[in-house]
Amino acid sequence: MQQNPPYPRPAYAWYCLAIICLAYLFGFMDRIIVGLLTPAIQQDLGLSDSEMGVIQGLAFAVFYTLFGLPIGWAADRLNRKWLLAAGTTLWSLMTAGAGLVRSFGGLFVMRAGVGVGEATLNPCATSLIGDSFEPRSRPKAFGIYTMSTALGAGVAYLGGGLILGFVGVGSGGRSFEMPLLGPIPAWQAVFIIIGVAGLVPALLLALTVREPQRRDLARPGTDTAPAGAGAFIRQNRRTLACHHLGVALIVLAVYGWVNWLPAYFVRLHGWPVAKFSIWYGLLGGLTGIVSAVSSGFVTNWFKRRGHADGAMRTVLVGGVGLTLGTGIAPLLPTPELALAGFVVAGIFNNYAPAQALAAIAEMTPNQLRGFVTAVYVLVIGIAGAGLGPFAMGWVTDHVFGDPQKIHYSMALVTMVSGLTGSALIALGLKPYRASLARVTWH
């Protein structure tokens, strides 16, 4: 068996993870902030639910996935730290740029740019984390990495809610006085503030993080080390099909309801965006953090009981729990009960995305890890982040034909996609164990 170079000192590895998490936090804020701002954008620009679904999802996801494969290829060969720093800079500037445009086309272009930048995130982060943490520590490291999405959501909702409440976005057009720009609508100011702040982790990545040595390299010429990505994917096709498609369908539900939650509370329960944002930012952010951190412990709990497929089992637990909880929550009769339902279900929010990455790292040799992660990102980007918001907006417009029935579209899309995705994960447990049995590089 090959000898790996020593791992970085634990304290330094955790520091590097913290910087990567900070970048991910801003990246996730940039993804979901448009959902929080949807009512204000629609009021200002007159866009339909279907158009906002495109801005929320497809504009980001198409370019996120198109650039994912070449960036994944680059992450397996080039300096990952600089690649991620460049991507963080790009998506932050594009988010700020969304605060300078006032049309569907302009927002589409800026959201596409965010997608290109964020395509660097998961391939580089998965590879960097795999080279910085010993196998026994990786499930927890990936759980903490995914915790950034919960923090990003919490900060986006809480901070955005406080800003929108301060400027009175729902009271007839008050605005922010921005340096150099003068008075602009509140939703544009939020984009600019978050985008500029995202340059901080880009600088920290560039100046304080070192590129780690690559490890877990499969030995050429063995049946456990396919000659390239195509051979590896063919060898593990059943595992990867169930894993990628299953997680994509679970994530479709999550991105759908997360992006439409503000509109749901405004339309059905009459809550101002600021009020919803503050409450969900506090409570939902907390349960999201618990979800991400606990996912690693759940995986290790399964492994201690002899289940080598612990990461995939955790994905399954999260998929079922999340789908049932968030499929019922929008149908509850009062805003307080609905909020409680989404918050409690949020305990499972990050099980699937966190441990899906851990599963990829466990079964994939280093020299293919970035590309295989990029394929995963392509699938979940199109089917999940892209179609989730659009599907719920389209169902509201064309199936129920009434903006006030958004709760029915949220429940329908969530239950169908989430349960189908969970069934695929269950079917993938056996082939995943077979993929793990072929691993020789740890």
Q: Is residue 3 situated within a structural domain?
A: no
Instruction: Quote the pLDDT of residue 116.
Output: 92
DSSP annotation of 177 reads E
State which residues of the chain have pLDDT below 70. 1-5, 159-177, 216-227, 385, 441-442
Instruction: Quote the pLDDT of residue 39.
Output: 80
Q: Is residue 171 situated within a structural domain?
A: yes
Strand partners, 120: none
Instruction: Quote the pLDDT of residue 279.
Output: 87
- For 314-323, b/e burial (b = at least 16 CB within 10 A) is bbbbbbbbbb
Distance CA 11, CA 17 (A): 10
Cβ–Cβ under 8 Å, residues 218 and 123? no
Q: Is residue 222 situated within a structural domain?
A: no
* Residue 355 structural domain: 10-214+227-437
Instruction: Assign residue 310 the CATH number of its domain.
Output: 1.20.1250.20
Q: How many domains does the chain have?
A: 1
Instruction: Quote the pLDDT of residue 1.
Output: 43
- Number of Cβ within 10 Å of residue 3's Cβ equals 6
Q: Which residue in 347, 351, 370, 346 sits closest to 360, CA to CA? A: 370
Instruction: Quote the pLDDT of residue 171.
Output: 42
Instruction: Quote the pLDDT of residue 206.
Output: 92
Q: Which residue in 236, 235, 238, 300 sits closest to 428, CA to CA? A: 238
pLDDT tens-place string over residues 103-157 = 999 999 999 999 999 989 888 988 898 888 887 788 788 878 877 777 777 777 7
Q: Is residue 253 situated within a structural domain?
A: yes
pLDDT tens-place string over residues 186-212 = 788 888 888 999 999 999 999 999 888
Instruction: Quote the pLDDT of residue 176.
Output: 66
Q: Is residue 117 situated within a structural domain?
A: yes
Q: Is residue 219 situated within a structural domain?
A: no
Instruction: Quote the pLDDT of residue 217.
Output: 62
Q: Which residue in 391, 363, 389 sits closest to 376, CA to CA? A: 363
Q: Is residue 295 situated within a structural domain?
A: yes
Q: Is residue 238 situated within a structural domain?
A: yes
**Secondary structure element (H or E) that encloses residue 44, with its range:** helix 10-45
- Number of Cβ within 10 Å of residue 110's Cβ equals 25
